[in-house]
Every structure is written in structure tokens, then in C-alpha cells.
Chains A and B, each alone.
Chain A
Amino acid sequence: MSEQPLLEVRDLKTYFPIKRGLLSKTVGWVKAVDGVSFDIQPGKTLGLVGESGCGKTTVGRSILRLIPPTSGAVRYNGEDFLAFRGEQLRRQRRKMQIIFQDPVSSLNPRMRVGNIIGEPIEVHGIARGDEKRKLVTSLLKRVGLDENDASKYPHEFSGGQRQRIGIARALSLSPDFIVCDEPVSALDVSIQSQILNLLADLRAERNIAYLFIAHNLAVVEHFSDDVAVMYLGRIVEKADARELYANPKHPYTVALLSAAPEPDPRRKRDRIVLGGEVPSPADPPGGCPFHPRCQLTRDAATQAAGNPNQPVSVNYRGSTISLRVLDYDGTTEIESGGEHFRVLTKCVKQVPPLEPKTGAPGHVAACWVTK
């Protein structure tokens, strides 16, 4: 437990200005990432899940400083990465690589594969000439491509093969941390598992740590040691992968798990279909960002209205979830998706902290209602 994390992210915030008018005056901020913290140990994988617009991609890019973070800290082996400048930054970047979702647009169509993989090797002064070519060949072979593929152009490859090229390029500088941004989302099902297996083998071989960003919950569970769920720029729940899927604590996680279509036609589930849409991050709801769509706070409000001083329990997803004692401060009516609901005032007024919940150690969630 006392092992030094490879990567420590603390209270990371990345805001984008909203500009209007002739003089491009800044009229507001999109809080794409709003206070995200986590650690990744060497050789371990943190899965980051969430729906589009939740900020998961921005987290990955902010950590690598591909998008400058607004505030917060990113420490790599204990050193303040955000303070690095010039040559120091360049050297550090060797250690931190990224694999993109779209294997088509992330490879230069005018460069031969050998150069795509070889360029970083040369730029960082690792090898040139014959030595470089040997390195490229060994990388190509490692990711399951052929030596002769070095002289081809990206368009000559299928999607899965292009993703292999992207992986070879990321590996070329022997990184110990790779951000995988939806690495298999654009691939066919039969190809996805090939790429996931390759990434897993590389992790075992080279002790690479991954930040694995994806929206497919099953893929994330399969691939990750820990999983964090993001909603509107914040982490709302984080736990060991098995624990999170077996024992979700945040109502958003529960809804996400319940919404994922499962390849089993006989399985009849008590599905929670979330109403409404993900709110715009330019104008997020106050309090708990999930409260307008949260069934749990509605149920809790109904029960608490009758008996405000007792902890209540609600029937949720087919099982009874006991709720904790709240410093009850009444209920509030809100509008969501054209309908009106009563919810706990606390959920509307105050942002819940990410705090430990009952269950395995290290299981944290940001919810006022669950225990």
C-alpha cells in the first residue's frame, strides 16, 4: 500500500472559456474537468467510464498537457509534472504516451508506417539509421504486424491493424504510462478482443500503467484494476473493478450498469431507464450534478417527507438499499425532462464529497443518500 504511485492527480480542473460577440468576450466557462483526483500505481490500470461530454477524454489529455489544465496537480513519480518546462518536459513526455480512438485520423496518411513509428525514436535521439530500423521492425512484430509493413502507408491497413500501428508508435519510446482513449470503440467486435489482449500482454511484459478511457462498461471491467465513473466533470464513484460492478453505490453507476445491454436474451432485469439527458457542462445543475435525473433522491424524498428523522430505505434495482441518516433539510420541487419531482433539498443545494462507503476499502462515492 505504501508504494509510491506512478501518477498522482490532485484536484485537476480544466475549464474552457465560452466566448461571445465581436471582441470574443469570455461570458462563462465550461467546466469540462472540475476537481478530479486519483492515483495510478506502476503497471496498474485505472478505467475511466462515463457518457459523452463527461470530461473523461479531457482528463486524459490534461494529464499529458495536450490540453493545459486550469489548476490542480499532476505528479509523476513524485515530481510536479505541470511545472516541467523545455528539455525536462520533452524528456518526461517519452515516459507518457497516448493511444487514440480513431486509428484513421491519428496517423499521418502521407507517412510510411516505418516513419510513423520511427520518427519519435529519432526525435528523442534514441536511435538512427539501421539501429532505428531494427527497433521499428521489432516493434512491428511485437504488435502483430509484418516487417514489410514498414514501407506501406496507413490507408493500406484495416482499422484493427491501424490501431496496432498506433500502439507501436506509443511503445516506441518505452513509456511506463499510456493514456488509452477509447482504443477499441471504433473497431469491430472480433478485432476488439485482439487489441485488448495485446494491450494486456504489453502491460504484463513491460509493467506499463494505463489510464483506460472508455464508455463500454464491460470492456472497462475486463481490462481495469480500478474503475472511476465520471459525470459532468467529476468522479462520482471509484473502487476496485469487481467491487464497483458487484456493489455500486452511486445511483448513476447503478443506472449505467443497468442500461448496458447484455448479450443474454433470457435475462430479465429490473432496468432503470434514466429520464432526461446529460445536462450541458456549460450550465451544470447545482448541488449534486446528478440530482435532476436521480431516482434515488426522489424515492428518498417521498419517504423522508413522512418521517424526516429516521434513515429511510428504498427499493432500488430490485433490492432494498438502506440510506444513511441525513441532516434532513426538507424537500424541493425540481423540473426535469418536462416533469416535476420532489427531491431532497440537500441534493439540490450542496455538492456531495467523494467519501468512503460501506463495502471494500477504497470504495468511494459522491452521494448524499447512500450509505
Chain B
Amino acid sequence: MATQPLLELKNLAIAFDTERGEIRPVQDVSLSVFTGQTLAIVGESGCGKSVTALSILRLIPSPPGKVLGGQVLFEGRDLLSLSEKQMQSVRGKDIAMIFQEPMTSLNPVFTIGEQIVEAVQLHQKVPTKKAYEIAEEALHDVGIADPSKRLFEYPHRLSGGMRQRVMIAMALSCQPKLLIADEPTTALDVTIQAQILELLRKLQRERGMSVLLITHDLGVVAENADAVAVMYASTIVEYAGVNDLFDSPQHPYTRGLFRAIPRIGHTRERLEAISGTVPSPARFPSGCKFHPRCPQMNGDPKCSADQPLLREVSPKHWAACHHIPDFDAKPVTPPTTDSRAEVVA
């Protein structure tokens, strides 16, 4: 009965050649995004969340990057096996992407209109006049006042929030089925962030679009996500529906994250900190990559020797930790469905 996911990553592994040898920022990542759903990948710097996002659109420079294995299935088709030409018709048309830095993702020497029109005409055979109409409509949809005038302005005239709206307009101008948003609000102020998050929710509702949201902010996750994948040091350590994850986080890392963030109205004398530092991809620890910082390890040799696999610790809730009760008895299943998809089906 399960619906087919729009996007499914199966055991994706990425490597980069660096001066200090090969690093593997993404290892054995499996996840699914269903139609109309938002999946958030949350994690700290260097956990591999952005590399995962870029690899879906095959935007990893190669060399030095390479795909070691796995599949990126979009509507059942493996994007990794497409030719560069076929891939170009996927980018922007089926899958669009917006980035953290709205300052650097727009070309300063072209007008807003020229840049949107280029994207439109790449995928739709329409005359320029019609393309400008589509662009104006797109700007209107993202809440830009006076779109007919804005079309002829240059990016430097716009504020950060406006530029991010233009990026969203450009990304959505070809009605993509999936939007990958890589830290879309990190560079913005809170009041502007609230505007952009609401805009994304509204557009998603109206168009039935799917969103893969990459963020480090658990607040943003709670606001916009249906399902969440928590990444730590190249692997997914926990995967669940958003309510499940926030109600009962299972992995010690996720639990540590929740305890480490101060919340408005909950004053505490001290924050609980996760000790140690985020490991760099060049020096990942052995076994469970979180074990040097883990409060639950208690010198268990298993944690430093064996990497735990994702197991379904409760229905539709996966975690990778040796110290979950009855962990070994639980089946090893990759997270290929989720609570919301069940509801949809």
C-alpha cells in the first residue's frame, strides 16, 4: 500500500580526494521524500547534509568528489545514471534548489528579470515576452511588491530577504516537483526568516510541492518539517516524523542537541552541553562516530568498535545507537517510509 516516494536516496556514499587523503562526508545515507512533504535534514557543520543535497542534483565537482555507491531515485529513475544532458532537464525543471547565500547566488550584472527569464526559457519554449510575464507572476507569487518594476532592477538594489524571495521565485518559475532548500533562512533576520518560512509553507500547500530542507536550526525544523533526518558525521543517526522526534528523541546526540538549546520562557541556570567538538570529516572516530562525545557509552567497547546501523526502534522511528533497549533484537531497516506517507496512503 505504500506510495512511491518522489525522491529516494538509497545507501548514498560520497568521497572527496583531498591533500590529506580521501574523506567520506556522506556514508550510507538512505531517505525518502514523498509528494507534498517536507523532509528536513538537520545537523551541524561538516555532518554531510549539504553534500547530500548537492549530490542529488549532481552538483558535486568531480574530481575531487565522487559517488562511491548508492542510488538517487527520482520518480523511480536513478539520477546518477543519467547523461549530463538529461540531467540538465531535471535541474530547475523537476528539482530546483535555493541556497543559503542570496547575495552570491544572484548574478550582479544582470537584472532580476533577465535571470528569471533565462531559467524559464531553458525549460519552456516560450517567447521572451511570455517569459517575462511568467517571471512577473513568479515575483508576485513570492510576495514582492511592484513586480513589474522589480524585473528591471539589479540584485544590489534588494535586501537579503528580497533576494531570497527572488531566488525562490526563480526556483519555482518552472513548477518543480521538488525544492531543495539549503539553509534558506540562515543568513536572514528572525522577522524576515518568519516571512520566508511562511512563504515556503504557503507555496508548498498551493502547489503540492515536496521540499528537502537542509538546516541546523531545530526551531526551523519544528516549524516546517513533516519528517526529519538527523545527520552526524556523515551518517543519519535518527529518522522519524517530526512529532515523534521532538516527543521522544532516541539517539544520544539528538537528545543532547535538544538539551543544549536554550528556549524562550524556560530559564535554567546552566545549559547541558555536549562535550568535545564536532569531528572533521578527515578524522572521523571509529565505530559509532558519536562515541567520543556520548554520555551513554560508559566505556562500552562495542561503541568504539562497531558502527550501529539504523534500526526501527519504534514504529516509523529509526535510530542508530547500541544503547537503545533491545537494540540488537530490532530489525535493520532503512528509513524508506514515514508517518505522513502512511497517512497519505
Residue contact A52 to B189, C-beta cutoff 8 Å? yes
Report A205-240 residues with CB < 8 Å from chain B CB: 215, 217-219, 221-223
Smallest CB separation, A242 vs chain B (Å): 7
Contact of B218 among A189, A197, A241 (CB under 8 A): A189
Q: Which residue of B lies closest to A186 (CB)?
A: B45
Q: A188-B44, A217-B190 are in contact. Are A193 and B271 (CB under 8 A)?
A: yes
Q: A51-B190, A190-B278, A197-B270 are in contact. Are A263 and B145 (CB under 8 A)?
A: no
Instruction: Check if B261 is an interface residue, CB within 8 A of chain A.
Output: yes
Q: Which residue of A lies closest to B226 (CB)?
A: A265
Smallest CB separation, B74 vs chain A (Å): 27
A258 vs B258: C-alpha distance when bound (angstroms): 20
Smallest CB separation, B174 vs chain A (Å): 26
Contact of B264 among A194, A218, A275 (CB under 8 A): A218
Contacts of B264 in A (CB 8 A): 217-218, 221, 245, 257, 260, 262
Instruction: Check if B85 is an interface residue, CB within 8 A of chain A.
Output: no
A267 vs B264: C-alpha distance when bound (angstroms): 13
Interface size counted on chain B using CB atoms at 8 A: 49
Contacts of B265 in A (CB 8 A): 221, 245-246
Contacts of B221 in A (CB 8 A): 263, 265
Instruction: Check if A264 is an interface residue, CB within 8 A of chain B.
Output: yes
Looking at chain A's contact residues, the main secondary structure is helix
Contact of B190 among A197, A200, A260, A275 (CB under 8 A): A260
Contacts of A222 in B (CB 8 A): 262, 267-268, 271
Instruction: Check if B1 is an interface residue, CB within 8 A of chain A.
Output: no
Q: Which residue of A lies closest to B246 (CB)?
A: A265
A152 vs B211: C-alpha distance when bound (angstroms): 44
Binary CB contact string for chain B from 127 to 145 against chain A (1 if under 8 A, 0 otherwise):
0000000000000000001
Contacts of B44 in A (CB 8 A): 188-190
Residue contact B219 to A188, C-beta cutoff 8 Å? no
Residue contact A278 to B189, C-beta cutoff 8 Å? yes
Instruction: Check if A83 is an interface residue, CB within 8 A of chain B.
Output: no
Contacts of A131 in B (CB 8 A): none
Q: A261-B219, A338-B146 are in contact. Are A189 and B193 (CB under 8 A)?
A: no
A258 vs B191: C-alpha distance when bound (angstroms): 9
A358 vs B319: C-alpha distance when bound (angstroms): 50
A337 vs B243: C-alpha distance when bound (angstroms): 36
A164 vs B264: C-alpha distance when bound (angstroms): 26
Instruction: Check if A255 is an interface residue, CB within 8 A of chain B.
Output: yes
Smallest CB separation, B42 vs chain A (Å): 9
Report B245-275 residues with CB < 8 Å from chain A CB: 246, 256-258, 260-265, 267-268, 270-275
Instruction: Check if B36 is an interface residue, CB within 8 A of chain A.
Output: no
Contacts of B257 in A (CB 8 A): 189-190
Instruction: Check if B217 is an interface residue, CB within 8 A of chain A.
Output: yes
Residue contact A261 to B197, C-beta cutoff 8 Å? yes
Q: Which residue of B lies closest to A192 (CB)?
A: B260
Instruction: Check if A256 is an interface residue, CB within 8 A of chain B.
Output: yes
Contacts of A161 in B (CB 8 A): 277
A161 vs B293: C-alpha distance when bound (angstroms): 15
Smallest CB separation, B167 vs chain A (Å): 16
A223 vs B257: C-alpha distance when bound (angstroms): 18
Smallest CB separation, A102 vs chain B (Å): 14
Residue contact B261 to A197, C-beta cutoff 8 Å? no
Residue contact B270 to A200, C-beta cutoff 8 Å? yes
Instruction: Check if B162 is an interface residue, CB within 8 A of chain A.
Output: yes
Instruction: Check if B222 is an interface residue, CB within 8 A of chain A.
Output: yes
Residue contact A260 to B219, C-beta cutoff 8 Å? yes
Binary CB contact string for chain B from 201 to 234 against chain A (1 if under 8 A, 0 otherwise):
0000000000000001111111101000000000
Contact of B162 among A189, A191, A264, A277 (CB under 8 A): A277
Q: Which residue of A lies closest to B270 (CB)?
A: A197
Q: Which residue of A lies closest to B218 (CB)?
A: A263
Instruction: Check if B23 is an interface residue, CB within 8 A of chain A.
Output: no
Interface on A for B, CB 8 Å cutoff? 51-52, 158-161, 188-194, 196-197, 200, 215, 217-219, 221-223, 241-242, 245-246, 255-267, 271, 273-275, 277-278, 337-339
29 contacts between A and B (CB under 8 A): A51-B192, A158-B278, A158-B280, A159-B45, A188-B45, A190-B257, A190-B273, A190-B274, A193-B271, A194-B273, A196-B271, A217-B190, A217-B264, A221-B264, A221-B267, A222-B262, A241-B267, A245-B264, A256-B190, A256-B191, A259-B191, A261-B190, A261-B197, A261-B219, A263-B246, A263-B263, A264-B222, A265-B246, A278-B189
Sort A-B residue pairs by CB-CB distance and give the 9 closest, nearest first: A338-B145, A261-B219, A222-B262, A193-B271, A259-B194, A51-B189, A188-B44, A190-B274, A193-B260
